[in-house]
Each structure stands twice: as structure tokens, then as C-alpha cells.
A and B are shown apart, each in its own frame.
Chain A
Amino acid sequence: MTSPTNAADSLLEVAAPSRSLRSDAWRRFRTNKLAMFGLFLVVLLMLIGIFGPYLVQDPQAQERLLFKTGPDATHWFGTDQVGRDVFARVVHGIRLSLFIGFLVTLLETTVGIALGAIAGWYGGWTDGVIMRIVDVLLALPYVLIAFALAAVFGYGVLPVVVTLVITSWLTTARVVRAGFLQAKVFDYVEAARAIGVPTRRIIVRHMLPNIIQPVLVLIAVGIGGAVLAESALSFLGVGVQEPTASLGLMIARSRSFFADAPGLLFFPGAAIVITVLGFLLIGDGLRDALDVRGDV
């Protein structure tokens, strides 16, 4: 029948935070107009990113004698300084940004949760070491890490992703660690340990629910942050290189032509802003929707 562990665990279930939080939170999110607008933007951009590249012109094709033309019927956003279709490049740029954003966030969240949980749960020396590593990594601007890795791997998506993962897991780990430190001293967790519930079960059933809320917000904001960071790296020349269409790169190249063709800056710039805005609004919405404590 039910083992003592199961019985105790089901008792603890009663004391643990309620799971119906999810439906409440969704309702609150749904009624938040800004958050829903953010969701709309993100879905729209994802559709563009996934399907767009199949529907637009070749972003590398250079049309002779058609430099820096303004928007018209064939080239909706005009052409750039070497005759490429800006609209196609923006669409490809969105895909690249979203791809990097999601990939980086997926990886850094995994690493961050793992290390943060270990640090928070075991405490002591393990915690100290992990936190020192975090401190050290925080001290270095990611631009320099990107450059160093690019020297090893060659420029491209790989050093960008690796750099951003290395520098992003730090915040996630800190948050998870804080959540674990807090939850570790909750009565029901101490009770579970006293009864002998296996560690893994405690962590999964009772500790993780505590950190889901802030981590979800971090994920949303993190994707936006990764998009910004990738554009900054490309802007500085340590990210993806020509002729790949990256929004940051496009902006960097457009500076000298701003007087003639402001669109070369505005279109990719607007794309970045809309993308990041969408994720930020979702993040804000999640924060408000998941805040159990009150109406802040």
C-alpha cells in the first residue's frame, strides 16, 4: 500500500504551495493588456522568424546599381549599401536573433538552475566555490570573452552563444540559490528531510515550485537580453560577420550612410526594439501575474 514516504509526502502536499496558482496566474496574465500585447509581438516575430526566410528574397543577393534606394514595391525596406534587399535581411536577422536568444536562454537556464540549486541546497564549501566563480565571471565584460572565444573558434554563432551562456547563467543561479536558501528552512521541507524523503524528491516536489516564479520572469527577460547582447557583439565586430544578416551588424554598417539612407538604421533598429519589447512586456506581465504576495 502506501509507504510511509508516500503517506508523509502526500501530507506535505497539503502544506506545500498550491498548484492551482497556475490557473490564477494565467487569468491575471490574460487580463493584463500590456502583457498580452507583448505576447502578440513575440508570436508575430516568431512566425516571421520561422516562416519569413522562406518567403523573402535572397538576403545576400546584390543588385547592381541599386544602392541605398528607399522603400518601394520590390524592396519594401529598400536596399543597402551593396544593393541587398533590406527587408529580407531584417527578416533573416530576426530569425538569427530569436534563434540565438532562445538557445542561449535555454542553455543558461539549465546551467543556472543546476548550479544555483546545488549551491543553495548543499551550502557550505560548495556554495562558496560556486559563488566565487559567479563573482569572477561577473567581473569580466562579455565583449572580451566573446573576442577571446572568437579567436579560438573563429567568428560566428558559436562564440556568441558560448559567451552569452557563460555570462547569463550567473543571474539565474543567484536567484535559484536564493530561492533554495529560503525554502530550505520552511517547516515542510525540514519535516520532509526529517521523515526521510529522498533528496531528489524534496527538490523536485517542494523546492522547485518555489523558484518557478522568478525563473519564468528571468527567462522572458533573458531572451530579450540575449537579443540585445548579440546585437551589441555584432555591432562591435566580435559577433557574426558579413555577409550574414545580423541586425546589430546592419546597424553598425549603416552609420556612415545615415544621412542618405536612414532606413538602413531604422529598420533593423526597430526590429530589435520590437523583439526585445515583446519579451520585456511578457516578463513584466509574468512578474505581476505570479506575484502571490499582493498588488505591487
Chain B
Amino acid sequence: MLAFTVRRLFSLLVVIWGAVTLVFYLYYALPGDPAEIMAGGNNRNPDPAVVANIGAKYGLDDPIIVQYGRYMWGVVTWDFGESFKDGKPVTDIIAERTPASLRLATWAMALEASLGIFLGVLSAKRKGSLADSATTIGAAVVSAVPVFVLAFLFQQVTGVYANTHDWPSWARLPVQGIGPNQWYLFVVPSVEQFRYLIQPAIVLATVSTVVVARLQRTTMLETQKSDFVRTARAKGLSEGQITRRHTLRNALIPVVTFIGIDFGTLITAAILTETVFNWPGLGSRLVTALDGRDLPVLVGLTTVVVLIYGLVNLAVDLSYGWLDPRVRQSSRGAS
């Protein structure tokens, strides 16, 4: 298991380095003057003097390799400079915004995994029933709705409509923001906090819950046909025992892997969700930086996102190794 972990860690470092370099390339090395971009804001014709100033201030006139070196050094020493807009150190912004995103993402993934797996197992069990077909259709429809539309509709119903039509207080949810920001053990919200959390978390989770459920259904049905399930039955186990100990345990493997792979999709969905709900996380701040063309913030936050993505992937890889003993030994380089 140890050798496996080390190999995975190394792989992860390579990928993170590659992604971080790509971020640098996209923003600083592509044709198009970063200084102009920042100076321009919403104005297409920035004042050349301002552009020159910015160029000097951020060292954008230096040879690209020097800039790259400076950038990588900044990543390693955790220094991303200051926001173009208000001079605030980017690392401060990161520290401020990351917890909210992590909490939201954790809850969304927990919902996605638990609900998705549960629904998947259930629909496999009731294969062919009306409930099964209904969930398939429902699933397809939900997948077709853009996240930002879903988010907005949720807001309207439980926030605005509930208020104007006098719904009971438990059904009325805050429309946006994070509220009291009260958490225990980092991820457990207070009751009041939960009311602010639940909507964005559900919206964010729907994106993938459907896919997880369908995948789980498929793997359950396939695994049920395996030889070892037949063996388990021949041993005298009850159907329930067979499902839990043998079928599910094996069927989970591809599903857990998928949840990990899907984290990337979750990030993009989070950017949209945070924006609609005004949830003060990395995602919404990223969009603000996009609008304001605040390159240092953009680059800094993107790097953090990449790092988080890398770590989540590592966690998933390791759990995959724990779930499937066959993977631990052989030297698998490429995934």
C-alpha cells in the first residue's frame, strides 16, 4: 500500500506542476498583453501610460522565462502577489474564501455519493418497475437543466416565492449569502447555518447525483451476474447479505472512482452555483476577478483550485487502492 501511495503522490506532483505551468502559459505567455488586459477592464482602449505602469509593476516586461521562474517561486513560497483591484494580498483572499468552498463542496459530494449510491442500488433492485423508469426519465430531465437555472429556480421558490406567499418558516430559505458562518469541526453547520447551506449544496449535488445513481445501477446489475455472487449464494447467504457483502462491495469500485473523476465537473458547477447564491467561496471570487480582469487574483485562485483538485484526486486514488486489492500490487503507470 505504501509503494502505491508514493507512486500516486509522485504522479500527482507531475500533474499539479503541469497544470500550474499551463495556467501561467494561458495568462502570461499567450499572445495578448496581460498588462493591456488588466488595464483595459471593460474598456477596449486602455491608456498606454497605465499599461506601461502595470507592465513595470508586475514585471511583465521581463523575459518570459524569468516571469515563469518568479511565478513558480511564488507558488512554492505561497505568494501570489496582490490584487490589481485593491492591492490586497492574494493569499489573504485565498485564506478568506477557501473554507466556504470546501464546506460547500464537501456537503455536495457527501449528498451526491450517499443519495446517488442509494438511488442506484434501489433502482437496480426494482429494475423494470415503474419507479425505475420514472427515475430514469426524471434523471434525464434534471441532467438537462443548466446548473445556474436550477440554482436560480431554487432561490425563487424557497426564497422569494416562499416569502411573498407566506410559507411556514422552515420552508423558507435564505436567498443568498452565507449567513452567520457558524461551523463546528469545520464542516458541521449550526442549525441557522444549515439553512444557508442546504440550497447551494443540493443544487451543486444534483449535477452529479443523477449520473452516480445511473452508474451504480449499471454496476449493480452487472456485478449481480458475476461468478462470485453465484458462489456466495451457493454458500447459503441470504439475498440481503449477498447484496451488501459481495455485490455492493464490488459495484462500488467504479462508482467511487467516478465520483473522484467527477470532482472536476463539480468545480465548474461550484463556480456557477456560488455565483448565483452569492456564496463567498473561491468560485464566486473567481468570477469577480474574471469580470475585473484581475490577473494576480485569477492566477492565484486558479492555482489553489488546481491544488485542491489534485489532492481530491489523490484521496480518491488511495481509496480506490483500499477498495480494490488487485490494484495495489501491479505497477500501473498510466491510469
Interface size (B, Cβ < 8 Å)? 52
**What is the predominant secondary structure among interface residues of chain A facing chain B?**
helix
Least CB distance, A281 to chain B, in whole angstroms: 6
Least CB distance, A84 to chain B, in whole angstroms: 20
**A238 CA / B309 CA spacing, docked (Å):** 22
Whether A236 touches B290, Cβ cut-off 8 Å, given contacts A136-B22, A140-B23, A280-B140, is yes
A148 in contact with B26 (CB, 8 Å): yes
Whether A132 touches B18, Cβ cut-off 8 Å, given contacts A148-B27, A232-B146, is yes
Q: Which residues of B contact A140 (CB under 8 A)?
A: 19, 22-23, 302, 306
**A248 CA / B147 CA spacing, docked (Å):** 11
A236 in contact with B271 (CB, 8 Å): yes
Least CB distance, A53 to chain B, in whole angstroms: 23
Which of A131, A133, A145, A281 makes the CB contact (< 8 A) with B335? A131
Report B209-240 residues with CB < 8 Å from chain A CB: 218, 221-222, 225
Please tell me if A180 contacts chain B, counting CB pairs below 8 Å. no
**A81 CA / B93 CA spacing, docked (Å):** 36
**A224 CA / B140 CA spacing, docked (Å):** 11
**A135 CA / B156 CA spacing, docked (Å):** 38
Please tell me if A258 contacts chain B, counting CB pairs below 8 Å. yes
**A231 CA / B150 CA spacing, docked (Å):** 13
Please tell me if B250 contacts chain A, counting CB pairs below 8 Å. no
Report A118-157 residues with CB < 8 Å from chain B CB: 119, 127-128, 131-133, 135-145, 147-149, 151-152
Contact stretch, chosen from A44-52, A54-62, A268-276: A268-276
Least CB distance, A156 to chain B, in whole angstroms: 14
The interface bits of chain A over 262-296 (1 if a CB of B lies within 8 angstroms of the residue's CB, else 0) are: 00010001001111110011001000000000101
B141 in contact with A152 (CB, 8 Å): no
Contact stretch, chosen from B30-38, B54-62, B82-90, B104-112: B30-38
B309 in contact with A280 (CB, 8 Å): no
Please tell me if B4 contacts chain A, counting CB pairs below 8 Å. no
**A137 CA / B335 CA spacing, docked (Å):** 15
Which of A139, A251, A259 makes the CB contact (< 8 A) with B149? A251
B156 in contact with A258 (CB, 8 Å): yes
**Who on chain B is nearest to A279 by CB?**
B144
A141 in contact with B264 (CB, 8 Å): yes
B146 in contact with A139 (CB, 8 Å): no
Please tell me if B135 contacts chain A, counting CB pairs below 8 Å. no
Please tell me if A214 contacts chain B, counting CB pairs below 8 Å. no
B268 in contact with A142 (CB, 8 Å): yes
Please tell me if A34 contacts chain B, counting CB pairs below 8 Å. yes
Whether A143 touches B26, Cβ cut-off 8 Å, given contacts A277-B141, A294-B225, is no
**A119 CA / B141 CA spacing, docked (Å):** 35
Please tell me if A237 contacts chain B, counting CB pairs below 8 Å. yes
Please tell me if B120 contacts chain A, counting CB pairs below 8 Å. no
Please tell me if B15 contacts chain A, counting CB pairs below 8 Å. yes
B146 in contact with A272 (CB, 8 Å): yes
B152 in contact with A255 (CB, 8 Å): yes
Q: Which residues of A contact B310 (CB under 8 A)?
A: 139
Q: Which residues of A contact B272 (CB under 8 A)?
A: 232, 235-236
A232 in contact with B268 (CB, 8 Å): yes
**A237 CA / B23 CA spacing, docked (Å):** 20
Q: Which residues of A contact B218 (CB under 8 A)?
A: 296
Q: Which residues of A contact B298 (CB under 8 A)?
A: 144, 147
Least CB distance, A115 to chain B, in whole angstroms: 13
Q: Which residues of B contact A272 (CB under 8 A)?
A: 144-146, 149
Please tell me if A228 contacts chain B, counting CB pairs below 8 Å. yes
**A131 CA / B333 CA spacing, docked (Å):** 10
Q: Which residues of B contact A142 (CB under 8 A)?
A: 268
A280 in contact with B144 (CB, 8 Å): yes
Q: Which residues of B contact A152 (CB under 8 A)?
A: 30-32
Whether A237 touches B291, Cβ cut-off 8 Å, given contacts A136-B18, A148-B26, A269-B149, is yes
A248 in contact with B225 (CB, 8 Å): no
Q: Which residues of A contact B275 (CB under 8 A)?
A: 236
Whether A139 touches B306, Cβ cut-off 8 Å, given contacts A34-B137, A132-B15, A152-B31, is yes
A143 in contact with B271 (CB, 8 Å): yes
Whether A277 touches B140, Cβ cut-off 8 Å, given contacts A152-B32, A228-B146, A232-B146, is yes
Which of A137, A141, A265, A276 makes the CB contact (< 8 A) with B143? A276
**Who on chain B is nearest to A133 by CB?**
B18
The interface bits of chain A over 70-102 (1 if a CB of B lies within 8 angstroms of the residue's CB, else 0) are: 000000000000000000000000000000000
Q: Which residues of B contact A131 (CB under 8 A)?
A: 334-335
**Who on chain B is nearest to A280 by CB?**
B140
Please tell me if B287 contacts chain A, counting CB pairs below 8 Å. yes
**A220 CA / B67 CA spacing, docked (Å):** 43
Please tell me if B148 contacts chain A, counting CB pairs below 8 Å. yes
Task: Indicate the member of A144, A228, A269, A274 with the most B CB atoms within 10 Å.
Answer: A144
Which of B32, B290, B309, B333 makes the CB contact (< 8 A) with A237? B290
> Can you list 13 A-B pairs with a CB-CB distance of less than 8 A?
A137-B22, A143-B268, A149-B30, A224-B144, A232-B148, A232-B272, A251-B148, A252-B148, A265-B152, A274-B144, A277-B140, A280-B143, A296-B218
Interface on A for B, CB 8 Å cutoff?
34, 119, 127-128, 131-133, 135-145, 147-149, 151-152, 224, 228, 231-232, 235-238, 248, 251-252, 255, 258-259, 265, 269, 272-277, 280-281, 284, 294, 296
Closest 3 pairs (CB-CB, A-B): A136-B18, A148-B26, A276-B144
